């Protein structure tokens, strides 16, 4: 009983502190998001362009790159939902947030299977 009282008093005596994000957080986060989307776009374009020469494995890897572009676009939609305080949009995006990563993994697995399959 004595320990519970001390814990309660210690909890009530805490001072609330505000978290302040560093000034570089937003530019670095947005910059990495844009660079990631551009890099996956380049990978998808190069993959589809070379799919005829390298076979179906390159096409599957290109599909994986397209899925990761869509994953990056989810961040933009998520940010829009947060800015407009649209909780149904935010939770709808967060429910299936990892879907395109999972789909990209399946496409990459298919690419590796086709890569080891001789023509």
Residue 37 CA to its chain's centroid (Å): 10
- The confidence band for 117, taking pLDDT boundaries of 50, 70 and 90, is low
Please tell me the predicted confidence (pLDDT) of residue 80: 83
The CA distances from residue 86 to 65, 78, 94, 95, 108, in Å, are 29, 10, 12, 14, 34
On the question of pLDDT at 110 being above 80, the answer is: yes
Please tell me the predicted confidence (pLDDT) of residue 96: 87
pLDDT in tens, 56-78: 888 999 999 999 999 988 888 88
pLDDT in tens, 28-48: 888 898 899 999 999 999 999
């Amino acid at each position: 009983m004595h320990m519970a009282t001390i814990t309660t008093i210690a909890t009530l005596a805490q001072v609330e502190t505000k978290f302040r994000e560093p000034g570089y957080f937003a530019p670095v986060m947005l910059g990495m998001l844009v660079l990631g989307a551009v890099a996956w776009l380049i990978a998808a374009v190069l993959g589809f362009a070379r799919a005829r020469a390298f076979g179906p494995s390159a096409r599957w890897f290109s599909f994986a790159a397209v899925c990761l572009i869509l994953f990056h676009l989810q961040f933009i939609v998520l940010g829009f939902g947060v800015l407009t305080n649209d909780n149904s949009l935010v939770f709808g995006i967060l429910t299936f947030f990892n879907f395109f990563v999972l789909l990209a993994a399946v496409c990459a697995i298919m690419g590796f299977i086709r890569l080891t399959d001789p023509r």
